[in-house]
């Protein structure tokens, strides 16, 4: 319809052509900006590696390594969300699979996922990814003493209108300090949980397991159609 109108009106045709050209130019600029952001994050991570190699202080070296892992995870997250920017939600199964690959590469952990086909808004997926990465950094440092190959299992499932996400390791448990409230990592996680209006629970038997339960924005509640719901109301 618009093509027929434009063909009969040369002025409108020129305006449409100019609008398409502007849109294409804006898309190229956005793409270039995203590439620059990704490259800048990678450059910053490489600089931290250089500083880590120069450092003779074990505590400083560990802090630099944790910072590098955070930058790499954010960079991978940025790439994923940009590649899926045309989608209103993120399906967590594939998203977490890619995140686990990045975690394995940066921390040396053996990361695996168990996730159903739950979709969440992109900003929620981003916050969860940052929290998972902090749990992974903590596990690599405290549960496995920096030794590669330690197991990390990320489990994600929907429970009604809520998401339940658990990150568990099979390390030394919480006695080593993994569950302490202090530290930058746990401060970041606590802030994320508050922002998601969620609840964080911790278990420390036979390793450590951190569970975030948070409402999924816009999720329709699951209606209980069983007779038990009626019985409970009596």
Residues 60-116: pLDDT tens digits? 777 777 777 777 777 766 666 666 666 778 899 988 998 888 888 888 899 999 999
DSSP-based three-state secondary structure for 37:
helix
End residue of a domain, out of 86, 112, 137: 86
pLDDT in the model for residue 128: 93
pLDDT in the model for residue 228: 45
Environment class of 97 (CB within 10 Å of its CB; exposed 0-12, middle 13-18, buried 19+): middle
CB 104 within 8 A of CB 111: yes
Q: Are residues 104 and 190 located together in one domain of the fold?
A: yes
End residue of a domain, out of 55, 86, 117: 86
115 sits in which H/E element: strand 110-115
Between β-strands 110-115 and 151-159, what pairing exists: parallel, antiparallel or unpaired?
A: parallel
Q: Are residues 75 and 115 located together in one domain of the fold?
A: no
* Residue 29 token pair: 């600029």
Inside any domain, residue 128: yes
Q: What percent of the chain has pLDDT over 70?
A: 68
Q: What angle do CA 182, 138, 115 make, to 5 degrees?
A: 120
Q: Are residues 72 and 92 located together in one domain of the fold?
A: no
Closest CA to 114 of 155, 84, 143, 159: 155
- Of 83-87, 88-92, 121-125, 203-207, least confident by mean pLDDT is 83-87
44: domain range? 1-86
Q: What angle do CA 56, 61, 66 make, to 5 degrees?
A: 175
CATH classification at residue 131? 3.30.565.10
135 versus 62: the higher-pLDDT residue is 135
Phi, psi of 21 (to 5 degrees): -65, -40
End residue of a domain, out of 86, 117, 133: 86
* Residue 46 token pair: 């490489």
Q: Are residues 118 and 195 located together in one domain of the fold?
A: yes
Mean pLDDT of 177-201: 79
Q: Are residues 202 and 112 located together in one domain of the fold?
A: yes
Sign, CA dihedral 211-214-220-226, equals positive
CA-based radius of gyration for the chain: 23
Inside any domain, residue 230: no
Q: Which residues face 158 on adjacent strands?
A: 163
CB 212 within 8 A of CB 199: yes
Q: Are residues 108 and 182 located together in one domain of the fold?
A: yes
DSSP-based three-state secondary structure for 219:
coil
Looking at the predicted structure, is the pLDDT value of residue 216 above 50?
yes
Q: Are residues 95 and 48 located together in one domain of the fold?
A: no
Inside any domain, residue 17: yes
- pTM score, whole prediction: 0.68
Q: Are residues 31 and 126 located together in one domain of the fold?
A: no
Number of domains in the chain: 2
Looking at the predicted structure, is the pLDDT value of residue 4 above 60?
no
Q: Are residues 67 and 182 located together in one domain of the fold?
A: no
Q: How far is CA 151 from the centre of its chain?
A: 19
**Which segment, 9-13, 71-75, 151-155, is predicted with the most confidence on average?**
151-155
């Amino acid at each position: 319809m618009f093509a027929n109108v434009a063909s009969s009106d040369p002025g409108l045709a020129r305006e449409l052509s100019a609008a398409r050209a502007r849109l294409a130019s804006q898309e190229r600029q956005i793409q270039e900006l995203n590439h620059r952001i990704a490259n800048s994050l990678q450059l910053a991570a490489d600089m931290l590696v250089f500083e880590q190699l120069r450092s003779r202080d074990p505590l400083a070296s560990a802090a630099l390594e944790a910072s590098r892992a955070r930058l790499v995870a954010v960079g991978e997250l940025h790439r994923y969300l940009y590649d899926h920017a045309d989608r209103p939600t993120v399906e967590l199964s594939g998203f977490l699979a890619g995140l686990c690959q990045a975690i394995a590469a940066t921390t040396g952990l053996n990361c695996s996922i168990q996730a159903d086909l739950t979709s969440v808004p992109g900003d929620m997926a981003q916050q969860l990814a940052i929290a998972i990465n902090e749990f992974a950094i903590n596990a690599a440092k405290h549960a496995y003493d920096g030794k590669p190959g330690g197991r990390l299992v990320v489990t994600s499932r929907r429970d009604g209108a809520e998401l339940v996400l658990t990150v568990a390791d099979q390390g030394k448990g919480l006695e080593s300090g993994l569950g302490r409230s202090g530290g930058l990592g746990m401060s970041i996680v606590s802030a994320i949980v508050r922002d998601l209006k969620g609840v964080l629970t911790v278990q420390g038997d036979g390793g450590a397991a951190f569970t975030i339960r948070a409402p999924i924005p816009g999720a329709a509640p699951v209606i209980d159609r069983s007779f038990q719901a009626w019985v409970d109301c009596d």
